[in-house]
Amino acid sequence: MSETDPFWPDLFLKLLETHAETDAAHDMEHIRRVVRNARSLTEAEGADWQVVMPAAWLHDCVVVPKSSPQRKQASRLAADKAVEWLAEHGWPHGKLDEISHAIEAHSFSAGIETRTREARVLQDADRLDALGAVGLARTLMLGAEMKREFYHPADPFCANRDPDDSVYTLDHVYQKLLTLEGTMKTEAGKREAARRTQFIRDFLSQMADEVG
């Protein structure tokens, strides 16, 4: 089995045929973008593709709604399911523990320290998808889906208050998105996060001009 084998992504897609999409921001296109990011970071960082690629494809194979008390367990549940399925389909046994750790540690809400290069690559790949144009679009889609107000009418940009993304969609930019650049673990991830974060700042500046 090599990185260029044409069939191996089909193994992951087979499991994801039953993937439950909980919201517009965590669909199959999100997974494909994370895989794309992970492939780029794997090459840049010299990580093990046999760990990173299955972890990237399967990192959201179990999804838990944001409102669920089990939300912080989602990555552990996904790791368990992914490893069980990969073992059944003959993925190299020596890679399974590292795949499990990478999936479990990728989650922002779980707060698990990344112990391996591959886990750092996956975490960065996933967080990059929350930044830039795509990250903003995902935020706006999810806010609309959850029927949150767009922004605080008196203080849209959290100048004199703490952000509350349970009420205002734009607050999520301040509560999470603008913090992600400082959490990146790989050098390639840091560079790309800086570029995408600047896009968000430019958007906020333009929006400030428009809403006053």
What are the structural domains, with CATH classification, of the chain? 1-116 (1.10.3210.10), 130-212 (1.10.3210.50)
Burial (CB < 10 A; 0-12, 13-18, 19+), residue 190, is middle
Q: Looking at residue 170, what is its pLDDT?
A: 97
Which of 14-28, 90-104, 112-126, 174-188 is predicted with the least confidence, judged by mean pLDDT? 14-28
Query: How far apart are the C-alpha atoms of 51 and 87, rounded to whole Å?
Result: 13
CB 55 within 8 A of CB 102: yes
Report the mean per-residue pLDDT for the chain.
Answer: 89
Query: How far apart are the C-alpha atoms of 85 and 182, rounded to whole Å?
Result: 34
Q: Looking at residue 68, what is its pLDDT?
A: 63
Q: How many CB atoms lie within 10 A of CB 193?
A: 22
When pLDDT is cut at 50, 70 and 90, the band that residue 11 belongs to is confident
CB 89 within 8 A of CB 11: yes
Q: How large a percentage of the chain has pLDDT more than 70? A: 88
Residue 131 reports pLDDT greater than 60: yes
Nearest to 108 by CA among 146, 165, 156, 153: 165
When pLDDT is cut at 50, 70 and 90, the band that residue 6 belongs to is very low
Query: How far apart are the C-alpha atoms of 92 and 111, rounded to whole Å?
Result: 28
Nearest to 122 by CA among 139, 92, 101, 91: 101
Q: Looking at residue 73, what is its pLDDT?
A: 74
Chain-centroid distance of CA 167 in Å reads 22
Average pLDDT over residues 130-134: 97
> How confident is the model over 143-162, as pLDDT tens digits?
998 899 999 999 999 999 99
The three-point CA angle 160-161-165 to 5° equals 140
When pLDDT is cut at 50, 70 and 90, the band that residue 28 belongs to is confident
